[in-house]
Amino acid sequence: MSKRNLKQIAIIIGTRPEIIKTAPVIKKCIKFRVPFFIIHTGQHYSENMDRIFFDQLNLPKPEIRINVGSGSHGEQTGRCLERLEKILLEKKPEKILVQGDTNTVIAGALAASKLSIKIGHIEAGLRSYDRSMPEEINRVIADHLSHYLFAPTCVSKENLKKEGIVKNVFVTGNTIVEALKENSSIAEEKIGDKILRKLEIENNRYFLLTLHRQENVDNRDRLKEIFLGINKIIEKFKLPVIFPAHPRTVKNICKFNLINLLKKIKTIEPVGYFEFLVLEKNAFVILTDSGGLQEEACILKVPCITLRENTERPETLYAGSNILAGWRSKDILNSVVKMANTKRRWRQPFGDGKTSEKILKIITGA
Ligand code: UD1
Ligand code: UDP
């Protein structure tokens, strides 16, 4: 790959999924000697939401950390924007790369655009068409500010077209395919069924649950209703539910006094990527409101129930790997009954696993 006198690319990341999904691009930068440096905003900072992924994925330490931490949307985005602007002014990268739809992404895109630095957006064009989601606002703005739009599928390309964005849109697939390819066998080797034994669960005989979406976990009635649904599943299927709980959710379970509803749910701390891949691969059904899990479940051929009323990953619905259950307990139970016996024959729509190379070729002009 030619570098064509490219000055540096700043790769801006801040949260767990951004680290995981940007890792293949960082690895390719190293392999093809593309000049880059990593800026970590510190949106996620707990050991098990951040450092563990750098260690497991063998990523270089970020050159710069701006430690924005937690806060309201305005506080977090504002701190990111102010500190990123300073760094970009000082380091003068030629381009930046951001991935996904977090506050880190919107701040990175805003900071760069005001300094006339070109922006590449990985995972461009995803739309839930639900503006009550903070992530939807971040996606729309980041896409409209970007100069290179790396759309994972034709669906995302079409979404951009509907908003008048047609220039420099590239359908590249999703880097999650590579993340899974590269790490599944390592996970198998390093973790094997150790985690299943530790949790006293058997292959294909447990549900895996994750929850962290603001609209679900910051709303007491909704969170309660979801846990009531999970308890109904435990009662009907007589199978355990493993729940690596996101810190936001843990905080709200305590705040809303819902701990009693978790008595029968095996709640654990968030785990590393290797451990989580083993848990995903061997699950009977995955229940989640995560974006990345809808994709990973589809690729790993594990049925997925999404605890939301919409998704920016409709490709998984079309494939038949995922259904939208919403958040009401009876709908959650009915969806599990529906998906429990589904044939795992779908094809994953997220590309051939060469996404990061395609992205780098485009952004370096190779
Ligand atoms: C963020 C993203 C979301 C993404 C998710 C991935 C936005 C608007 N949201 O949501 O799109 O799906 O990351 O997991 O950018 N906390 C810790 N330790 C940490 C990080 C957070 O304890 O390392 C707690 C704090 O109490 C914090 C809360 O979790 O207030 C929420 O963190 P925040 O980064 O604001 O949002 P997420 O829910 O993680
Ligand atoms: N993940 C992990 N450990 C966990 C839970 C999730 O490694 O305990 C990984 C998961 O495999 C996926 C990513 O984190 O790649 C998803 O992150 P999250 O659900 O927080 O964010 P989203 O994808 O919804 O933005």
Co-location of 18 and 156 in the same domain: yes
**pLDDT at position 205:** 98
Co-location of 58 and 139 in the same domain: yes
Rounded CA separation 64/40 (Å): 6
Look at residue 161 and tell me whether its pLDDT is greater than 90.
Answer: yes
Helix axes 103-114, 73-91, angle to 10 degrees: 40
**pLDDT at position 97:** 98
Under a CB-based contact definition with an 8 Å cutoff, are residues 350 and 299 in contact? yes
Average pLDDT over residues 225-249: 98
Contacts of 204 (CB under 8 A, 6+ apart): 282, 283, 284
Q: HSE, CB side, 13 Å, CA atoms: give it for residue 66.
A: 26
Distances from the Cα of 59 to the Cαs of 23, 112, 228, 231, in angstroms? 7, 24, 40, 39
Domain containing residue 36: 9-174+351-364
Plot region of 5 (φ>0 → left; ψ -120 to 50 → alpha; else → beta): left
**pLDDT at position 3:** 52
Rounded CA separation 59/41 (Å): 16
Rounded CA separation 198/202 (Å): 10
Co-location of 312 and 359 in the same domain: no
Atom index in ligand 1 nearest the CA of residue 214 equals 38
pTM of the model: 0.98
Distance of CA 277 to the CA centre of its chain: 14
Average pLDDT over residues 347-357: 98
Look at residue 338 and tell me whether its pLDDT is greater than 90.
Answer: yes
Co-location of 106 and 216 in the same domain: no
Give a yes or no: residue 4 inside a domain: no
Co-location of 165 and 287 in the same domain: no
Distance of CA 304 to the CA centre of its chain: 15
306, β-bridge pairs? 288, 324
Q: Given pLDDT bands bounded at 50, 70 and 90, which one contains residue 292?
A: very high
Average pLDDT over residues 354-360: 98
Task: List pLDDT tens digits, range 16-68.
Answer: 999 999 999 999 999 999 999 999 999 999 999 999 999 999 999 999 999 99
Q: Which of 40, 44, 121, 212 is catalytic?
A: 212
Determine whether 212 is an active site residue. yes
Co-location of 78 and 208 in the same domain: no
Give a yes or no: residue 114 inside a domain: yes
What is the rounded radius of gyration, in angstroms, for the C-alpha atoms of the chain? 20
Give a yes or no: residue 208 inside a domain: yes
Co-location of 110 and 153 in the same domain: yes
Give a yes or no: residue 2 inside a domain: no
Look at residue 1 and tell me whether its pLDDT is greater than 70.
Answer: no
Task: List pLDDT tens digits, range 57-110.
Answer: 999 999 999 999 999 999 999 999 999 999 999 999 999 999 999 999 999 999
Co-location of 131 and 270 in the same domain: no
Co-location of 204 and 58 in the same domain: no
Number of domains the chain is built from: 2
Co-location of 81 and 159 in the same domain: yes
Look at residue 269 and tell me whether its pLDDT is greater than 60.
Answer: yes
SS3 208: strand
Q: Which residue, by CA, sits nearest to atom 17 of ligand 2?
A: 17
Co-location of 87 and 150 in the same domain: yes
Asked whether the CA dihedral 114, 120, 125, 130 is positive or negative, the reply is negative
Give a yes or no: residue 1 inside a domain: no
Distance of CA 287 to the CA centre of its chain: 15
Q: Given pLDDT bands bounded at 50, 70 and 90, which one contains residue 2?
A: low
Co-location of 106 and 184 in the same domain: no
Q: What percent of the chain has pLDDT over 70?
A: 98
Pocket-forming residues, ligand 1, beta carbon under 6 Å: 15-17, 43-46, 49-50, 70, 76, 101-103, 134-135, 212, 247-248, 251
Give a yes or no: residue 88 inside a domain: yes
Q: What percent of the chain has pLDDT over 90?
A: 97
Give a yes or no: residue 3 inside a domain: no
**pLDDT at position 7:** 80
Q: Given the DSSP bridges, would you call strands 304-306 and 322-324 parallel, antiparallel or unpaired?
A: parallel
CATH number at residue 83: 3.40.50.2000
Q: Which of 266, 267, 290 to mutate to test the pocket of ligand 2 (most atoms within 8 A of CB)?
A: 290
Pocket-forming residues, ligand 2, beta carbon under 6 Å: 16-17, 20, 210, 212, 244, 270-271, 273, 276, 290-293, 296
**pLDDT at position 341:** 87
By CB neighbour count within 10 A (0-12 exposed, 13-18 middle, 19+ buried), where does 276 fall?
A: buried
Give a yes or no: residue 81 inside a domain: yes
Q: Nearest to residue 177, comparing CAs of 356, 360, 344?
A: 356
State the average pLDDT for the chain: 97
Under a CB-based contact definition with an 8 Å cutoff, are residues 120 and 148 in contact? yes
